[in-house]
Amino acid sequence: MSAYLLHLRRRFGAVLYPALYGPQILAFMPAITLAAYWMFGETALLTVAVVVPLLLAFAYVPPAARRPPPSLRDGLTGLSNRSGLCENLDQAIARGADRGTTTACLVITLDDFSQLQERLNPAATDSILQRVADQLALVCRQNDTVARLEDGGFGVALHPMARADLETLIQLSGRIQSAVSEPISLDGRAQYVTASIGFCLASRSPEPNGKSILQSAESAMIEARRSGPGAIRAFSAQMKPLLAERSAQLDEVAAALEQGQIRAWFQPQISTDTGQVTGFEALARWVHPERGIIPPAEFLSALEAGGQLNRLNEVILFQSLTALRRWDQSGMTVPMVGINFAGQDLQNPRIADKLRWELDRFSLTPDRLTVEILETVVTAMENDVVTRNIAEISKLGCGIDLDDFGTGTASIRHLRQFTVNRIKIDRSFVSKVDRDHDQQRMIAALLTMAEQLDIETLAEGVETAGEHAVLAQLGCNHVQGFAVARAMPFEETIGWYARHNRKISAAPKIRNKSK
């Protein structure tokens, strides 16, 4: 048989096989029964009408019965686990070699999952995972294998198909992302999650087995997460295997900090009233000579494990105060820079003295520095050192921002006790605030409370002009997020600032509710 005929046979085979052996064959029953009657009479009619459904009833395994056995099943979602996924991929690859079909593996990871875990109770994160599992099962075909990996990760093994190319996979990834981004109701509130996706086509896998294709899809997912949130990446041979990458990173991260590869990038915060810059938040970035820009989610835990968060804090503080001086020298008006302080930083009994000394060294007044403290740190650490430190930093004249507000359990008492100047309303309240009435009501309540307490407000993670406009109308004082700008290296801030100022002097103002 010529190669072309062989190709045609494989293609039709791949399409016809599932149709002939699936329950959809029942649609042909009336035609088959009639044909049997015309050709062979009543006995044939009876035989076909009884025997075919019986045969199918025995042969067909309903989807629920296809649940993986306990050893290959994830306890929470009932989906396959990592071993189950690998096994299915192995089978799909072997079947492909026989029948000329192909497969692919997708790895889906929820963006910011570790932050979700910190913020929500375990039952809430479990319901998010369960809901994502349900959505994945809906988007994928019945014969695809959906699996739960560790943390906020899921995997999909495509049932062998005639054509699984880049375009098909990109489209499927897009459909998965939109299904995952549907609001999830938690205690009557909408919670939004996004996903980054990496995939590997069987034809691109370094080795023709399940383990290799899954690892490759995971490497692609790491690349996607680095470019995310919400990015999609296909595996290419240049990407390193995940495990090698992880262990190398642990060794490298300490050295990177000392060699100055971990730097402060700056994300602007602007007034909703005037549009002017009211500050920059310093966010740590690992500027890796080969791997590019690595976000803090991938190295903070290593620094914490190595007890080096204090060193990071020193580096970021130094670079932020340097930036303030340079902004002043270039004629920019940047009222202040905000720095993230971890619980560990606030345990240091000399932290307030250190800040005073550093500010003096740069001839900057304390109001130019804002200390961002996570709401969870404030509530979890009702210990004397932390409380005293926050009080001293505030007495020194630095601003205190309560970060990720709304995700912990800080009370009005905490706001007063820690002399908080501003709350940073967490992105989970801000997402889709222009389209979701519940979100609007929550934000309005938070803003009213802050106004009564005479505390400023900043909305974090503002991603669209619509969200920005609604926040301004509701009376939130400041916004920060991709809608304004992403974090950028110091060198880009000067050009961005000039362009931004030109834009706001040309644009009509959004009126604030208090005006």
How far apart (Å, rounded) are the C-alpha atoms in residues 411 and 382? 13
Peptide bond between residue 366 and the one before it cis (omega within 30 degrees of 0): no
Sole residue written with tokens 């004629």: 331
Q: CB of residue 455 vs Ca ion: minimum separation in angstroms?
A: 16
Contact letters for ligand C2E, residues 90-109 (x by CB under 6 A): --------------------
| Residue whose CB is less far from Ca ion, 223 or 404 | 404
Q: Does residue 372 belong to the site contacting Ca ion (CB under 5 A)?
A: yes
Using CB atoms, what's the residue nearest to ligand C2E? 481
What does the chain come to in residues? 515
How far apart (Å, rounded) are the C-alpha atoms in residues 98 and 160? 11
Q: Which does 482 bind (CB under 5 to 8 A by kind): Ca ion, ligand C2E, none?
A: ligand C2E
Contact 95, 160 (CB under 8 A): yes
Q: Does residue 386 belong to the site contacting ligand C2E (CB under 6 A)?
A: no
Q: Does residue 309 belong to the site contacting ligand C2E (CB under 6 A)?
A: yes
Q: Does residue 321 belong to the site contacting ligand C2E (CB under 6 A)?
A: no
Contact 372, 315 (CB under 8 A): no
Interface region with ligand C2E, contact rule CB under 6 A, candidates 17-25, 213-221, 291-299, 362-370: 291-299
- Which of 48, 85, 242, 283 is the binder for ligand C2E (CB under 6 A)? 283
| Residue whose CB is less far from ligand C2E, 21 or 482 | 482
Contact 365, 397 (CB under 8 A): yes
Q: Does residue 312 belong to the site contacting ligand C2E (CB under 6 A)?
A: yes
* Residues of span 470-499 touching ligand C2E by CB under 6 A: 481-482, 487
Sheet holding 153-157, edge to edge: 145-148, 153-157, 104-110, 195-201, 232-234
Q: Does residue 223 belong to the site contacting Ca ion (CB under 5 A)?
A: no
- Which of 25, 29, 342, 488 is the binder for ligand C2E (CB under 6 A)? 342
* Residues of span 392-421 touching ligand C2E by CB under 6 A: 403-404
N-term to C-term CA, the chain: 81
Q: CB of residue 180 vs ligand C2E: minimum separation in angstroms?
A: 14
**How many chain residues interact with ligand C2E (CB under 6 A)?**
22
Q: Does residue 284 belong to the site contacting ligand C2E (CB under 6 A)?
A: yes
Question: Which 8-state DSSP code applies to residue 181?
Answer: T
Query: Which among 248, 193, 203 is positioned nearest to 222, based on CA atoms?
Result: 248
Question: 351-370 burial, b for 16+ CB within 10 Å, e for fewer?
Answer: bbeebbebbeebebebebbb
Query: Which among 438, 402, 7 is positioned nearest to 188, based on CA atoms?
Result: 438
- Which of 170, 297, 332, 444 is the binder for ligand C2E (CB under 6 A)? 297
- Which of 109, 215, 340, 394 is the binder for Ca ion (CB under 5 A)? 340
Q: Does residue 434 belong to the site contacting ligand C2E (CB under 6 A)?
A: no
Which residues partner with 403 through β-bridges? 374
Q: CB of residue 377 vs ligand C2E: minimum separation in angstroms?
A: 10
How far apart (Å, rounded) are the C-alpha atoms in residues 147 and 140? 11
3-class SS shares of the chain: helix, strand, coil, % to 5: 55, 20, 30
Contact letters for ligand C2E, residues 218-237 (x by CB under 6 A): -----------x--------
Contact 286, 336 (CB under 8 A): no
Q: Does residue 269 belong to the site contacting ligand C2E (CB under 6 A)?
A: no
Q: Applying CB under 5 A, which residues contact Ca ion?
A: 340, 372, 403-404, 460
Q: Applying CB under 6 A, which residues contact ligand C2E?
A: 229, 267, 283-284, 295-297, 300, 309, 312, 316, 340, 342, 403-404, 427, 461-463, 481-482, 487
